[in-house]
Amino acid sequence: MGQKTKLRDLIGAIKDKASLSKAAFLSKPNTLSLQLSILRATTHDPTNPPHDKHLTTLLSFGQSSRATASAVIESLMDRLHHTHDSSVALKCLITIHHIIRRGSFILQDQLCVYPTFGGRNYLKLSDFRDCTTPTTWALSSWVRWYAQYVEHLLCTSRILGFFLCSTSGSADKDEAEEKVAALLNKDLLKEIDSLVGIMEEICKAPEFVFVEGNKLVLEVMGFVGDDYLSAINEISLRICEFKERLSCLSFGESVELVFELKRLEDCKERLMVVFTRTKASVEIFWGLVREMKDRVGMMKGYREERRLVMVGRRERASESARFGERVLKSGDLVNFSSGRLCLDRFQFPLLESIESEI
């Protein structure tokens, strides 16, 4: 097994040199440095994540023009799609995550709009397999999961209007609270739904069998852990806003909010396993989720009970109205077969007898 791994690493190194030589000969002069930066950041080396020097060079291309930023994303996606090596695929995805975290606005924008122009689900690598060794087989499951996670992260960014953990999308607390306070209830629920989806995707992370201590996996989980804390902050902000609107929620909105909070609680146990180090802010967050779910649940129960009471009252009122239609009222005519008698004579027989005696 050791000899096979060494042979694979040697072949990977040869492939890297061949790719660099090919890029030097075939790339256009204006894109050569870009192509070389991508190849250097996504080598076949299975032991180390992309070097920060190469990533910094790559990210710098996204600050010049939209055309150059588009070329960066297109080249990176081609590299991701044409590789069958789990280390290269993970490094491509890590590079994409770096763009999400600290890329320029133009580069992030091109990352979001690329599916529109490319016409592919470029991050859903559901069929990716690297069967070279047991380790690469295990890393393949990480490639598939990580691609799906980053895809969901991109979808969430479109809904929120910014990327989690992004330096370009960060805002101070007061500004963030103002933005959230201006949202409609349905938009708040939509954002919470997407953020809870991030939590659920994290829960699907593969087991660490065969990859324990792998630096690529550690790099991935470091990024995901930061996203996890950012998602907690964003969800907490929206839950606190709903606390202010609790009395104004409709019954349907209350039901939907409880459903989202229940989804969150279902993630708690798995998240505690994935992230063993628990911060005080995380404990506060889960307490907030539990408290809010209980409060909204009580409100929902109260409103349901009140709704049933009101329905019962309306039914009784309706029944009374129907009964009233059957009760004779003063001035109403009673239809007998003769058609000669009216309600006055029928309702006051004593008065009629007195009149006849007079």
Whether 281 shows a pLDDT value over 60: the answer reads: yes
Top-confidence residue, 197 or 21: 197
Q: Is the alpha carbon torsion for 276, 282, 287, 288 positive or negative? A: negative
* Calpha distance 181→175 (Å, rounded): 10
Question: How is residue 184 annotated by DSSP?
Answer: -
Whether 307 shows a pLDDT value over 90: the answer reads: no
Q: What is the pLDDT of residues 217-240, one digit of tens each?
A: 999 999 999 999 999 999 999 999
| pLDDT (0 to 100) of residue 120 | 45
Long-range contacts of 289-294 (CB under 8 A, 24+ apart): 289/235, 289/239, 289/261, 289/264, 289/265, 290/265, 292/239, 292/242, 292/243, 292/257, 292/261, 293/258, 293/261, 293/262, 293/265
Kindly indicate the confidence band of residue 298, based on its pLDDT and cuts at 50, 70 and 90.
confident
| pLDDT (0 to 100) of residue 62 | 81
Closest CA to 100 of 205, 220, 278, 277: 220
* Calpha distance 61→66 (Å, rounded): 10
| pLDDT (0 to 100) of residue 52 | 93
Kindly indicate the confidence band of residue 30, based on its pLDDT and cuts at 50, 70 and 90.
low
**Is residue 343 a contact partner of residue 328, using CB atoms and an 8 Å limit?**
yes
Q: Cβ atoms within 10 A of the Cβ of 75, count?
A: 20
Whether 16 shows a pLDDT value over 50: the answer reads: yes
> Where does the chain have alpha helices with state H?
2-26, 32-41, 52-60, 66-82, 86-102, 105-118, 134-160, 173-181, 185-203, 215-244, 251-274, 280-326, 343-347, 349-357
Whether 315 shows a pLDDT value over 60: the answer reads: no
Percent of the chain with pLDDT over 70: 71
Top-confidence residue, 46 or 193: 193
Kindly indicate the confidence band of residue 299, based on its pLDDT and cuts at 50, 70 and 90.
confident
Kindly indicate the confidence band of residue 276, based on its pLDDT and cuts at 50, 70 and 90.
confident
The tokens describing 355, both together, are 């009149």
CATH topology of domain 1-120: 1.25.40
The tokens describing 44, both together, are 């076949």
When the pLDDT of each residue in the chain is averaged and rounded to a whole number, the result is: 80
Q: What is the pLDDT of residues 164-179, one digit of tens each?
A: 888 766 667 788 899 9
Q: What is the pLDDT of residues 189-220, one digit of tens each?
A: 999 999 999 999 999 999 988 898 999 999 99
Kindly indicate the confidence band of residue 63, based on its pLDDT and cuts at 50, 70 and 90.
confident
